[in-house]
Structure 1
Amino acid sequence: MHIELYAFAVLSYAGVSSAWSPGNSYVPQNVSCASDIQLVREANGVSTNESDWLKKRRPIASKALRSFVERATKNFSDTSLIDKVFGSSDTDAPVVAIGASGGGYRAMLSGAGMVSAFDNRTDGANDHGLGGVLQGTTYLAGLSGGNWLTGTLAWNNWTSVQEIVDNTTADNSIWDISDSIINSGGVDIVSTSERWDHIFTAVDDKHDKFNTSLTDIWGRALSYNFFPSLYRGGVGYTWSTLRDADVFKNAEMPFPITVADGRYPGTKIVNLNSTVFEFNPFEMGSWDPSLRAFTDVKYLGTKASGGKPVSSGECVAGFDNVGFVMGTSSTLFNQFLLRINTTSISSVVKKLITHFLKELSDEEDDIAIYAPNPFYKTDYVYQNSTKGLVNSDDLFLVDGGEDDENIPLVPLLQKERGVDIIFALDNSADTELYWPDGASLTYTYDRQFGKQGKGQLAFPYVPDVETFVDEGLNQKPVFFGCDAGNLTDLAYTPPLVIYVPNAKHSYPSNQSTFKLSYSDKERLGMIRNGFEAATRNNLTDDSNFAGCVACAIMRRRQQSLNATFPKECQQCFSNYCWNGKTSSKATNFTQNNDFSSGAVSSTVVATASASSVSGSSSASVSSGSSSSGSRSSSGDAGTPVFSPRTVLSVMAVVVSAVGLF
């Protein structure tokens, strides 16, 4: 990835002022709305707004994706498949999605390098990477640190990682994290104190009218790093603002999604029973049967019953502050704000923060409060919805990785969205050395057999984490679900998944999730390494890798058409598709016994029934992690077997040991 400076492009928000917070502040305000407005709908398909947007995006994405495929396969012996796959209609083109995992600034920076490898705006991405795939992508999802990445790009007028890199040393540069979020001014105590005073004033003003939590403070603090050119880090900048930005209205960018989990104080989250929430530019809600409903994100904060405002024609706007939404997906980091006494910041700043936090209850340390609950008394929408979600005055959301599904795959697996291929960018810290071990994929696989996913989701077969590590599947890109014919036991044919794990190339990118400051050199090193991880080291490890990615992109369409694959694609799948091999200790899978065609048929069939898979498979993953000692208690996905107090204790040790601040 090349670094060349050029003038910083001034962000333009012309024509979007109407979507900002009505008072241009952090405090939500009453606004007029239609007297017959219905704020909640059943999740029986994508929204009308999303559907209309897709009609504009599909031809743009199709053209870009075809351009990438043609360039990547230009040396193939037979390229006639391209015309068949892309067909005569834009709706024939494969639907591509990217999911960026959580993992704090490590995930944001390493993920940025990976995303930049797909972006033809990145210097060298066309010749040494996968440039053009991002332009052909329809959905872009982020979780926790991954949503810091996707949110930064999307809500900065769809800026590029290249542009951010090129302006690293400029005033008000994006992702200037040379000093930690706690001590933002570094040696300038006055600057740090002033920023925290602004943050607390904004949150305090909101608290006068609405319930607030530590996430309000966390989200406000984060925003200064993501939107430095906006007044006080975008104090009045809302999530729904993106709807009216030309770059989104014209579908010149992918559809951004961020993920959080539902959680109530004192409860645990496990992968099979968590309610996964998504935020997109139009809506917030969940596809899961525990809710199966969405609400208009612009009018969050409106007191409603049964999806209708209690006061006819009166709604609330401005609750969907973009920093608050991005903070909601990363509430695990709220714990840092509670460890002030372990830091070396000035006594003035420490006293200021401690004074403001002292009345927060322990049970709400990691919770974002959405009050009033937009889904209050909406059980009529979906009769099987969980009563706790629809009968509570408040809705509580937490870090999207607390259920161990640290890559935001659930929104991308919805059959209604018709995704053909997902690039799963894994920058998790699963092992003791902060590398990923594929656990996010195994938990998502398990989910489809639990009560939240059974009949609702389909995800290709994957091995247990021990196999991921033993076979080196966590060190380079791997394809899962290559042969749709071997997936017929699932609810429907799932997308093919290209797993892209964080691995060391030119930089030690296995940084702690809780490292909150990076020098310019460290940031660039992380981003560069991410580019290399996604491109097989700038295509030097495999000069045919771009062509193999093109083969994977076409695979679902090729199989549905029963068309012949070029011989080069056959070789690619032998090289990159998981071959079905598992560790000798794995007990929940057995091989299909038919791998005669190579990895094109390399999937496995679960021997257990759906009910036993949801139990034994999960147990296998847990025992595998435990026996190998690879699962780190400081992993970014959270530790659902611990209480928030225990997590705090662990974090206190980590913070003290590495001197993060």
Structure 2
Amino acid sequence: MHALVIIAVYIGIALLPTTAQNAASDAFTPKFDYCPPGTSLIRSTGATSQTLGPDEERYISTRKRDVLPAAWSSYLQNVGNRAKALDLELPEYVSRVLSMPGLNPSLGIAISGGGWKAATFGAASLNALDSRNQTATKLGTGGLLQAASYMTGLSGSSWLLMSLVQANFPTFEELIFGTASNATQSKENLFPGWLGQFDLLQPGNTNQSLDFVQSLLTDVKGKFDVGFPVTLIDVWGRTLSRHFVNGTTPENFFDTNITHGAGVTLSSLASLPIFQDHGIPFPIVVSDSISTAPNTSALFNLTGAVVPLTNPILEFNIFETGSYDPMLSAFTPTKFLGSPNDSVCVTGFDQVGYIQGSSGGLFSIFNTSAETLAASPVGGLLTLLNATFTQPGIRLDAAALPNPFFGHAKDTFADSGEKILRLIDGAENGEGTPYQPLLVKARGVDTIIAIDVQGDNALEFTEGLSVIASQERASILSSVYSFPSVPTSVETWRSENLAKHPTFFGCNSTSRDVPLLIYIANGAPPLGQVAVTNVSTTLTIFPPEQARAIFDQSFDIATQGIPVLNMFGYIEKDPEWPICLACAVVDRMRLKSGAQRSGICASCLDRYCWS
């Protein structure tokens, strides 16, 4: 991470008094009230049964009944048209699975972390699956996004998913680059796009940056004043809001009279039209819990993981927050995060920016010792927090969530006795892609499309490390999770180029519990192009021209398949890739129906499956 903080500057403003509460501070401050009658702050899922929350279950069942049949039929038409254009014929079972509601696959999409790069690469990959994109529709990949049941994100992709949902599901061009103003649109419906031209913590000249950071501090002061700890994640969440949440434009970026996304809560997104219409895959973002007594023997040994694989992964969705991992197996209402008991409920703790920060803040990578942390790029900001707020015993590099599971699962949950639950970046256990929510058997996901943007090597390209970590964790928790077999050697990933083109994993599994994994990675530039997608995860400024270059190249990576030589000797996209993708999407339902692979699908899976 480059200099997020100029230490001397921040030490200087640490001596300045915080101003009175402003509009943003008031909107960011959690509120206390009596709990509604019948409120329960703990829902036990069962260590092995893993029952879904009732609101999620209703959302998914209604979406499957009212939305997905038409979405799958539309996708079938798109891929069918592509097959006809190539003078190919889809196997009968592909058409049957995609056209019959009782046979439709349950599809999940998982997008890895990786800062601005992951947010942009992930958006471009979703754009390649979006029926609203005419290029993708003509290509034959468009429509899969509309047909998915779930989508998951962590770290940089949590910025993407939360931004996408709170903006009411605009196109991805609009999401990143803004909605073009015209006479038919009201001001309230205009989304300015991501404001990557402003550095996340040093967005202007010295004076502007001083005032900006002071305004962030003021934003979180009200939360501290009502008794909650504030950490780097609160400050980080407030700047993420200015970049990814409605309410900030280039013109008002430094205006302290604007709420800048404060008050936009995760639970409030349930009232958005797109969610009321069940028109979007159910979104989930994850964060890692970091225990006071970690099991260091369970650290993933191929990366610098700081969280053991045996720690519970916390997932945030619009309705609930918690973990299906068997050591916890409990959820609490997202709306009431921070509540002390069933009588006094807190609202407003689940700010979208704070959730984005809890999932996507890499500050813990510097916390190897007090000296290293103090000398790190965030050392000055920590000095500022310490000088402003007196908080003995609070770990400032982690999100500090009043533990909703205090006293729960005492025999298995390491933090059962902790009043504060500490959460850090969702990739800090080595799992850079959020597979875990899609492995919950109660969700019944048949197929996972994974977009992996992790920088695994010195060139900042992907080499499958997060997949290896997820397989390792699933094997540790094999009583509840099943994961397809993947190569555990990085050398195999390199020698077989498994991250340099799409690869399918789990093709030969005969277990109906093991999802088929469609793996698309940022492993190399496409089609001989000069690489632009292998930038650092830790970039804090991301101007629109850089976002455009990565967005366009990422679309090519997501749609090229395994490049082929045409008759003229030029490398081009695999023209059959959209058909091969459809073959993989339906393959688990093919297995369940007893049909045999045939025709173009047999050759496609021979080519794209890892065995």
**Equivalent residue letter for 2:78:** R
1:95 is matched with 106
What is the distance in 1 between the residues matched to 2:428 and 2:401?
Answer: 18
- 1:192-247 alpha-carbon deviations (Å, 9 max, x no partner): 33332221112111111211211111111111000252543211111101111121
Contact kept in structure 2, 1:24 and 1:237, CA below 8 Å: no
- 1:449-476 alpha-carbon deviations (Å, 9 max, x no partner): 21xx121110010012221111111101
- SS of the residue 2:145 aligns to: coil
Equivalent positions of 1:383-402 (< 5 A) are 384-386=411-413, 388-402=414-428
Of 416, 421, 426, the match for 2:447: 421
Structure 2 CA distance for partners of 1:544 and 1:455, relative to 1, 3 Å: same
Match status 1:571 vs 2:603: yes
**Equivalent residue letter for 2:59:** W
Q: How far 1:447 sits from its partner (Å)?
A: 1.2
Contact kept in structure 1, 2:501 and 2:561, CA below 8 Å: no
**Equivalent residue letter for 1:202:** D
- SS of the residue 2:27 aligns to: coil
TM-score (norm 1): 0.75
Structure 2 CA distance for partners of 1:471 and 1:271, relative to 1, 3 Å: farther
Contact kept in structure 1, 2:76 and 2:95, CA below 8 Å: no
Of 541, 566, 569, the match for 1:517: 541
Q: How far 1:443 sits from its partner (Å)?
A: 1.0
**Equivalent residue letter for 2:520:** V
Q: How far 1:321 sits from its partner (Å)?
A: 0.7
Q: How far 1:276 sits from its partner (Å)?
A: 0.8
What is the distance in 1 between the residues matched to 2:96 and 2:285?
Answer: 34
Contact kept in structure 2, 1:461 and 1:481, CA below 8 Å: yes
What is the distance in 2 between the residues matched to 1:151 and 1:248?
Answer: 13
- SS of the residue 1:31 aligns to: strand
- 1:379-430 alpha-carbon deviations (Å, 9 max, x no partner): 3xxx7532x3222111111111011011000000111101111011100011
Of 316, 319, 328, the match for 1:279: 316
- 1:68-111 alpha-carbon deviations (Å, 9 max, x no partner): 133213434354324532464x3431011110101111111111
- SS of the residue 1:279 aligns to: strand
Equivalent positions of 1:577-616 (< 5 A) are 577-578=609-610, 580=611
Of 504, 508, 525, the match for 1:504: 525
1:473 is matched with 498
1:57 is matched with 63
What is the distance in 1 between the residues matched to 2:380 and 2:602?
Answer: 64
Structure 2 CA distance for partners of 1:219 and 1:212, relative to 1, 3 Å: same
**Equivalent residue letter for 2:44:** E
- SS of the residue 2:28 aligns to: coil
Match status 1:242 vs 2:269: yes
Q: How far 1:165 sits from its partner (Å)?
A: 4.5
Match status 1:262 vs 2:289: yes
Q: How far 1:180 sits from its partner (Å)?
A: 1.4
Structure 2 CA distance for partners of 1:212 and 1:266, relative to 1, 3 Å: farther
2:242 is matched with 224
- SS of the residue 1:141 aligns to: strand
1:462 is matched with 486
Contact kept in structure 2, 1:142 and 1:259, CA below 8 Å: yes
1:298 is matched with 335
Match status 1:135 vs 2:146: yes
1:528 is matched with 552
Contact kept in structure 1, 2:76 and 2:99, CA below 8 Å: no
2:6 is matched with none
1:32 is matched with 34
Contact kept in structure 1, 2:312 and 2:323, CA below 8 Å: yes
Structure 2 CA distance for partners of 1:28 and 1:91, relative to 1, 3 Å: farther
1:205 is matched with 222
Contact kept in structure 2, 1:77 and 1:566, CA below 8 Å: no
Q: How far 1:511 sits from its partner (Å)?
A: 0.4
**Equivalent residue letter for 1:529:** Q
2:299 is matched with none
1:183 is matched with 202
What is the distance in 2 between the residues matched to 1:339 and 1:520?
Answer: 32
1:441 is matched with 467
2:13 is matched with none
What is the distance in 2 between the residues matched to 1:508 and 1:250?
Answer: 37
- 1:621-640 alpha-carbon deviations (Å, 9 max, x no partner): xxxxxxxxxxxxxxxxxxxx
Match status 1:174 vs 2:193: yes
Match status 1:48 vs 2:73: no
Q: Percent identity?
A: 31
2:384 is matched with 355
Of 497, 508, 518, the match for 1:483: 508
Query: What do you get for the CA RMSD once the two structures are aligned?
Result: 2.8
What is the distance in 2 between the residues matched to 1:412 and 1:191?
Answer: 43
What is the distance in 2 between the residues matched to 1:211 and 1:537?
Answer: 48
2:395 is matched with 364
Of 92, 101, 120, the match for 1:80: 92
What is the distance in 2 between the residues matched to 1:129 and 1:439?
Answer: 30
Match status 1:542 vs 2:574: yes
What is the distance in 2 between the residues matched to 1:352 and 1:448?
Answer: 37
Structure 2 CA distance for partners of 1:237 and 1:421, relative to 1, 3 Å: same
Structure 2 CA distance for partners of 1:158 and 1:136, relative to 1, 3 Å: same
Q: How far 1:483 sits from its partner (Å)?
A: 2.5
**Equivalent residue letter for 1:181:** L
Structure 2 CA distance for partners of 1:36 and 1:173, relative to 1, 3 Å: closer
TM-score (norm 2): 0.81
- SS of the residue 1:58 aligns to: helix
- 1:357-394 alpha-carbon deviations (Å, 9 max, x no partner): 446779724311101x1112233xxx7532x3222111
Structure 1: which 5+ runs fail to align?
A: 1-20, 581-661
Structure 2 CA distance for partners of 1:374 and 1:301, relative to 1, 3 Å: same
Higher relative contact order (CA 8 A, sep 6+): 2
Contact kept in structure 1, 2:174 and 2:193, CA below 8 Å: no
2:301 is matched with none
Aligned residues: 532
Contact kept in structure 2, 1:458 and 1:494, CA below 8 Å: yes
